Structure 1
Amino acid sequence: MLPFLVLLGLYHTWPVFFGSYLAFTEYNVISPPKWVGLQNFQRLIHDDQFWSGVINSLKYLMVVPVIQLLSVGLAMLVNRPLPGIGFFRTAYYVPVVTSFAVVGLIWTWMYQQDGPVTFVLQHLGLMGRPHSLLNDPGTALYAVMFVTLWKGVGYYMVLYLAGLQAIPKDHEEAAEMDGASRLQVFWHITLPALRPTLLVCSLLSTISAIKVFEEIYVMTSGGPVGSTYTALFFTYSKAFQDFQYGYAAAAGIVIAIISLLFGAVNFRLTRGGRSDA
């Protein structure tokens, strides 16, 4: 295990401790870190740009329940022993393994004023004057959310599929023999047995939503007018554009604390992942 532990310490444990230390310093790479105590956190409290990013990150949490519901539905759909079901399982998973640079470019084109999404929305009467959804402050964030939903649903589908296949079939068969409907079997047998998987998937999707970055970086760069400026994009811009590494590290710690709080909420809602089945 030594090679793995060395790499883990070098690329994970050390950066966590060093980044936590930098949060209490003023550091710009050129000069050594200068200890400033809680000044970075005090500055964050009064930084409207940071809190605007936090609000957008929290809005992104709307993706979490939708992606979980769709993933469970898809998992149950592809769990059936139908001819060619392996093809559909693979097709749903393809977006997951596709680079987001490629996905972002494709969806940016589709969202353009003369793109297919605009064409469909206009002909359905859901859009008046044709315009790019990514250039509209009112729709840009939700357009990026949809891309996250489209790309990530296959990943959680696979996790739920593994959870479904681990449920003993005799539990569901016994319930059906007792006269339970499919909905009753799902609600009282399948869903409680999926609770551990639900906890893992909801935790992963919640943390991913709060620290969303790739989608924003590739598709909007925080625009238009800051409507897609998220908390992690704020951290990136302060560190790699303004070279305020201490300030960026402080923002990272705040984001981590927010993630932990929502993780605790997930544990509460899923009862710690304990299965009742």
Structure 2
Amino acid sequence: MTTTPRRRSRREEHRLGGTGAKVTLRNTLIAYAFMIPFLVLLVMFHTWPVFFGTFLAFTKYNIISPPQWVGLDNFRGLLQDEQFWSGLRNSLKYILIVPVIQVISILVALLVNRPLKGIAFFRTAYYVPAITSFAVVGLIWNWMYQQGGPVNAVLSTLGLMTEDRGLLNNPATALLAVMFVTLWKGIGYYMVLYLAGLQNISQELDDAATIDGATRWQVFWNVTIPGLRPTILVCSLLSTISAIKVFEEIYVMTQGGPAGSTYSALFYTYSKAFQDFQYGMAAAAGLIIAVISIFFGLINFRITRGGKIDG
């Protein structure tokens, strides 16, 4: 006569390891010992700066004197500062590249996902701008955008430019020129993420839809896009936050000029902190940028349905 082994309770399973060995205090301490270095770095370089920066947003601080509590005075000052509003408007304009860069990245990912000869070279070529230092990228594009440069020559040939003038020196075109560089540099990065997402979609779903008579467009819209929804959420979130916090491109290429046409909200924060030494005002501006980023992040969750794949 055989007896059925007693099934362990959840408490027992939690107390026992994967091999049935009892989890001892020593094993627990060893696990936390491995976590401590990361937790220390996390607190030092993430958690503490967030809390201290939030505190500084309500103070007057110039790094020499101790912080002085001023309440909402910094935020009132920002509301009356036209330079801050100009930078915030430019940062919000930058969000326009988010849908463009996502659509192009998906199309490029579909292109390089095919098993064609030499496709590894094209994947590498598309990804190279993403890993190139922006100092190098800025120098190259500054030269290409200058008066008499290659970009002006192409635009003149196409009849899109009547006056040979540096695009970064023209307030009407400077922001668009910088946005294009961001678009060009970011496509490869998001392409890799979408390529990984495409390769996680079962080929059987595409084959079943094709057998049922679906066209290539119907397969793309009803199978590929729903399967990519989690990746779309991640990429759109990253792209939106990067657009709102645009700084590196502005700092390297234009320094906010000409005439403030490329002045961004984060560049305003940098100027207040490291040029004017008004750290309280800079922290308040950074807090506003963070709130705006969270707001647009929630919009991305809403549009992509939280990244859930249709069942």
Q: TM-score range by the shorter chain?
A: over 0.9
Q: 2:179 aligns with which of 138, 145, 149?
A: 145
State the shift of 1:60 in Å.
Answer: 0.4
Which residues of structure 2 form unaligned runs of 5+? Answer: 1-34
Hey, what does 2:271 align to over in structure 1?
237
d(CA) in 2 for partners of 1:4 and 1:93?
A: 30
Q: 2:106 aligns with which of 61, 72, 93?
A: 72
Question: Following superposition of structure 1 onto structure 2, how do residues 119-158 of structure 1 map, counting pairs within 5 Å?
Answer: 119-158=153-192
Amino acid at match of 1:122: S
Amino acid at match of 1:26: K
State the shift of 1:216 in Å.
Answer: 0.2
d(CA) in 2 for partners of 1:197 and 1:55?
A: 28
d(CA) in 1 for partners of 2:161 and 2:254?
A: 21
d(CA) in 2 for partners of 1:121 and 1:80?
A: 33
Amino acid at match of 2:65: S
Hey, what does 1:252 align to over in structure 2?
286
State the shift of 1:37 in Å.
Answer: 0.7
Which residues of structure 1 form unaligned runs of 5+? Answer: none
Q: 1:20 aligns with which of 28, 48, 54?
A: 54
Q: Which has the larger radius of gyration?
A: 2
d(CA) in 2 for partners of 1:73 and 1:2?
A: 43
Runs of 4+ in structure 1 off by over 4 angstroms are: none
d(CA) in 2 for partners of 1:46 and 1:2?
A: 45
Amino acid at match of 1:96: A
Q: Relative contact order (C-alpha < 8 Å, sep 6+): which is higher?
A: 1
Post-superposition CA distance 1:25-74 (Å, at most 9, x none) = 00001111111111101111111110111100000011101000000000
d(CA) in 1 for partners of 2:179 and 2:163?
A: 22
Amino acid at match of 2:167: L
Post-superposition CA distance 1:223-255 (Å, at most 9, x none) = 000000010000000000000000000000000
Residue 214 of structure 2 aligns to a residue in which SS? coil
d(CA) in 1 for partners of 2:124 and 2:75?
A: 46
Hey, what does 2:66 align to over in structure 1?
32
1:51 aligns with 2:78: no
Post-superposition CA distance 1:113-142 (Å, at most 9, x none) = 011001111111110110000000000000
Amino acid at match of 1:110: M
d(CA) in 2 for partners of 1:20 and 1:74?
A: 41
Q: Give TM-score, length-normalised by structure 1.
A: 0.99
Residue 292 of structure 2 aligns to a residue in which SS? helix
Q: Which stretch has the larger CA shift, 8-17 or 145-154? A: 8-17
d(CA) in 2 for partners of 1:91 and 1:5?
A: 37
Hey, what does 2:131 align to over in structure 1?
97
d(CA) in 2 for partners of 1:112 and 1:17?
A: 43
Q: Give TM-score, length-normalised by structure 2.
A: 0.88
State the shift of 1:4 in Å.
Answer: 1.1
Post-superposition CA distance 1:2-39 (Å, at most 9, x none) = 11111111111111111111001000011111111111
Amino acid at match of 2:188: G
1:177 aligns with 2:211: yes
Hey, what does 1:107 align to over in structure 2?
141
1:265 aligns with 2:304: no
Percent identity reads 72
Residue 31 of structure 1 aligns to a residue in which SS? coil
d(CA) in 2 for partners of 1:11 and 1:181?
A: 51
